[in-house]
């Protein structure tokens, strides 16, 4: 699982490619760019200036998302209670060796990451951080039940490559960890994922694309728990789903991933969904693509 290949992205930042999953950790347009557009900006961290917040980073990987988060919180004197789930230590090991990655952040980020790599833990007067290594489906149960999160980042490999972290059952556990008005943020615009989150009672938003071309219609999804529009402050980085996106959810692509006992293999989860899609009377996703001029590369369903 750990065989990784270094990838230089277009913004000059480095990423990795997993040989096991046959997928890059980040878009080739830029690892750093992707982190800021798809995770940091939608988080609207200014809400927590001079305050404390709880964050859960699922599929921590190289640590770009949390590095960017911590970097911003240092600037605004926020207090952080942070947990992360990750199956493989090697991406963090690589990040700690990569000078380009380290130069992108406040030196304290490296100090925190070194401690997480060595001790699985870091704590000072501002930040309390702990990482659990292993299958996220199991390790999420270790997080104390009383801990609820203002932000949850979900950045696993795409649903078709790693469906284990995109199933109804796992996302239900994730949902239970959110504070009221808490944000679950992911790069995925998968109809299956969005349908699952909506059916769990979350309010769904689209992360606005930076490119106006129709084939690049989404940068991801923000799902808000126990949404109260009277408490919600408008965020310029995300918006309600368009008619096109709503219609996407009504196609076979919207059929969810299932993992009843949270221990199924990738192939079992994929095959079960394929069987469900074959038996479904929902509109084929191909018709939706044709109607809206979409390409398969525009999203990961």
b/e sequence 256-282, b meaning 16+ C-beta within 10 Å: bbbbeebebeeeebbebbeeebeeeee
pTM reported for the whole predicted model: 0.94
Q: Please report the pLDDT score of residue 212 as a whole number.
A: 59
Q: What is the pLDDT of residue 213?
A: 53
Bridge partners for 64 per DSSP: none
Per-residue pLDDT for the chain (301 aa), expressed as one digit of tens each?
A: 569 999 999 999 999 999 999 999 999 999 999 999 999 999 999 999 999 999 999 999 999 999 999 999 999 999 999 999 999 999 999 999 999 999 999 999 999 999 999 999 999 999 999 999 999 999 999 999 999 999 999 999 999 999 999 999 999 999 999 999 999 999 999 999 999 999 999 999 999 887 655 557 789 999 999 998 888 877 889 999 999 999 999 999 999 999 999 999 999 999 999 999 999 999 999 999 999 887 654 444 4
Tally Cβ neighbours within 10 Å of residue 115: 16
Tokens (6 digits) for 189: 């615009």
Give the CATH architecture of domain 30-298.
Answer: 3-Layer(aba) Sandwich (3.40)
pLDDT for res 25:
95
Contacts 24+ apart (CB under 8 A), 114-123: 116/84, 116/92, 117/89, 117/92, 117/93
How far, in Å, CA of 208 to CA of 23, rounded?
A: 23
Q: State residue 215's pLDDT score.
A: 57
- Measure the CA angle with vertex 74, ends 58 and 181; round to 5°: 50
Residue ranges of the domains in the chain?
30-298
Res 2: pLDDT: 67
The answer to whether the beta carbons of residues 70 and 112 sit under 8 Å apart is: yes
Instruction: Give a three-class secondary structure readout of the chain.
Output: CCCEEEEECCCCCEEEEECCCCEECCCCCCHHHHHHHHHHHHHCHHHHCCCEEEEEEECCCCCHHHHHHHHHHHHCCCEEEEEEEECCCHHHHHHHHCHHHHHCCCHHHHHHHHHHHHHCEEECCCEEEEEEECCHHHHCCCCCCCCCEEEEEECCCCCCCCHHHCEHHHHHHHHHCEEEEEEEEECCCCHHHHHHHHHCCCEEEEECCCCCCCCCCCCEEEEECCCCCCCCCCCCCEEECCHHHHHHHCEHHHCCECCCCCCCCHHHHHHHHHHHHHHCCCECHHHHHHHHCCCHHHCCC
CA dihedral 233, 238, 244, 250 (to 10 degrees): -70
Q: What is the pLDDT of residue 233?
A: 76
pLDDT at 1: 54
Question: Residue 42's closest CA among 244, 173, 222, 178?
Answer: 222
């Amino acid at each position: 699982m750990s065989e990784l290949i270094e990838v230089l992205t277009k913004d000059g930042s480095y990423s990795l490619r997993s040989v096991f999953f046959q997928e890059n950790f980040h878009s080739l347009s830029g690892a750093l760019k992707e982190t800021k557009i798809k995770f940091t900006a939608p988080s609207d961290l200014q809400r927590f200036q001079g305050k404390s917040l709880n964050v859960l980073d699922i599929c921590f990987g190289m640590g770009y998302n949390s590095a960017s988060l911590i970097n911003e919180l240092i600037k605004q004197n926020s207090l952080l209670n942070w947990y992360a789930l990750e199956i493989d230590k090697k991406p963090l090991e690589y990040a700690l060796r990569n000078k380009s990655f380290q130069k992108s952040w406040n030196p304290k980020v490296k100090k925190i990451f070194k401690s997480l790599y060595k001790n699985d833990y870091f704590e000072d007067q501002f930040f309390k951080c702990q990482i659990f290594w292993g299958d996220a489906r199991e390790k999420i149960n270790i997080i104390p039940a009383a801990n609820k999160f203002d932000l949850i980042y979900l950045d696993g490999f795409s649903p078709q490559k790693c469906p284990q972290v995109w199933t109804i059952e796992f996302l239900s556990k994730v949902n239970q960890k959110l504070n009221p008005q808490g944000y679950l943020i992911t790069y995925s615009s998968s109809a299956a994922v969005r349908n699952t989150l909506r059916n769990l009672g979350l309010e769904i938003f689209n992360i606005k694309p930076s490119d106006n071309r129709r084939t690049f219609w989404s940068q991801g999804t923000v799902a808000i728990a126990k949404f109260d529009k009277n408490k919600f402050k408008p965020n310029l980085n995300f918006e309600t789903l368009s008619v096109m996106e709503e219609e996407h959810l009504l196609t076979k692509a919207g059929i969810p991933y299932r993992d009843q006992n949270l221990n199924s293999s990738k192939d079992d989860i994929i095959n079960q969904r394929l069987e469900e899609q074959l038996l479904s009377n929902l509109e084929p996703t191909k018709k939706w693509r044709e109607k809206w001029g979409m390409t398969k590369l525009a999203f990961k369903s």
